[in-house]
Structures are given as structure tokens and as C-alpha cells.
Amino acid sequence: MKRTLIILLLSCFIISCSSSTQNDVNAIYIQNKGSDTIVNLALAWAETYQAQHADVSISVTGGGTGTGIAALMNGTVDIANASRAIKEEELAEATAKGIQPLEHIIARDAIAVIVNAENPVSELTLQQISDIYSGVITNWSEVGGEDRPIVKLSRETNSGTHVYFLETVLRLGDKENKTLFSTDTLLLPSSEGIIVEVRQNPNAIGYDGLGYVPHDVKMIAIAEEVGGDYVLPSIASVNDKTYPIARDLYMYTNGEPVGAVKEYLDWILSDEAQAIVAELGFVPVK
């Protein structure tokens, strides 16, 4: 009797292992990496999609746009998240490695310029923001605030948001403009890090994707030029193109996606997935 029980237990163990192995063989894995701006949205998408597709496992990690694109070049991810378009030099490097990055616009975003809730400054022009970050303006009193030094916060250089802000705000969209961030700008590794610092420091100014901005920090209304309308970032102001710091968000694949990756990207553009975009404070593409 004891021997029979042992045999039965061993049989169950073998069947269980076989079933587990079979499940692993049939499992579909999608590696998704890159932009920290997109990471929370990508995690929400992955969670929803996996709940509906038990055979699919999606790994989502951040690290910055540059990290995601580098991983795509190295063949270690299926999808690279990017908060900026791929650069010409990155495209050339990828092509040299036999990789053909294909761009998919999956959402849109506004870059909010943020300050501490106690800061009396509510409006700035693009030129004033450029002058602040390049070190021309160094005190809040120069833009209608209190006599306090301005503490400038930025994402790190590997961040797509950093690159976009440099090109669109500091350089005002002029490709011939070589303006750089002031050397005393504090570079922070995450969107959350900027929020924490702005929340705690009454002298700070930072920028972040609209979907990351909580209610306890203050968003600045921005005008493209002196005398222009000052506009706060929102889904509406991105869609009607009145907010001047807005961009597309991307996913990149190596060539045309196929199989499970194609099905996932098709779902991302569905009404269900785009509703999640709006819920998280980003702007749907449809």
C-alpha cells in the first residue's frame, strides 16, 4: 500500500512537471523596454492584455529612450519604447547591424513645466523657460516671482524627454541653435524624482510628462511668444495644438511586427487600450 502511494505521488509529480514544461514551451514572451515616460502606460497595457491572454507574458522595463533603442539594436527586446523619434545616427547604427527600426505612434503627450505649489509664478514664455534653463535668468524675481534663486531640474541625457525639451524649448525648435542646459542644472534619473524634488523645494522648476504630474505641484501656463496666449497642458490643448510643448510617443520594432507582437501592437491602438491612455493623463491617438 505504501509503495503504491509513492508510485502514485511520483506519477503526479511527473505529470505536473510535464504540464509545466509544456506550458513554458507554449508561452509567448514579449520584451518591452525604454522610455520612462511611457513605462507606467506600458505596464498598464501589459497588465490588461495579459489578463485577457493567459498564454502571453509581457516584460516591461524603463531606463530611458536611449536604453530601449540600444536594446532593439542589440536584439534583446521585441519592442522599444521612445518618447522621441529615433535619431539619424541611431538609425544608421541600427541599419549597420541589420536592424530595421519601424516607428509606431502609440500615444501623445504634453511636457508640463512644473514648480512648487507655493511659487507665485503661473505663466512663462518659451523664451523665458529657455533663458532659465540656459542660465540667463537665475532668480525668480526676474520673471515676476520672489527674490529666490532658481533651482533647475532636468531628466538625464539618456532620456528622450531631455532631448525633446532641449530641442523644443531651450533651442526653440531651431536646428541651428546650439543653446545648452546650464551646468548647474540638476540631472535626475526619473520622472518621479523630479516630482519629489519640486514638491519639496520652493525654488525648483522642472518638467515632466503630463501623465506624471500630481495635483500637489503647480503647472505653468506657457505662451509661445510675448503677447501670446498662455496655455496649460491638457488633452484638449494638445489636440487643438494650442499647447506648445507636445509630442508623439513611440514604440519601435525591428521591421514589420508579426505574430504575437503584431497582435499586441494592434490592440494598443484599439479603443480599449487608448482609453487607458486617457485615464493615465496622456493623449490618445484616436
Whether residue 260 is found in the same domain as residue 240: no
Q: What percent of the chain has pLDDT over 90?
A: 86
pLDDT tens readout for residues 148-162: 999 999 999 989 999
Which comes out higher in pLDDT, residue 193 or 3?
193
Residue 267: inside a domain: yes
Whether residue 129 is found in the same domain as residue 53: no
- Domain range spanning residue 242? 109-246
The average pLDDT across 57-82 equals 96
Whether residue 150 is found in the same domain as residue 211: yes
**Contact yes or no for 130/174 (Cβ under 8 A):** no
pLDDT tens readout for residues 96-129: 999 999 999 999 999 999 999 999 999 999 999 9
Domains in the chain, number: 2
User: What pLDDT does 211 receive?
Assistant: 86
pLDDT tens readout for residues 229-268: 999 999 899 989 999 999 999 999 999 999 999 999 999 9
- C-alpha dist (Å) from residue 52 to 22, 28, 55: 20, 13, 9
Whether residue 64 is found in the same domain as residue 86: yes
Residue 226: inside a domain: yes
Whether residue 174 is found in the same domain as residue 71: no
CA-CA distance, 265 to 152, in Å (whole number)? 37
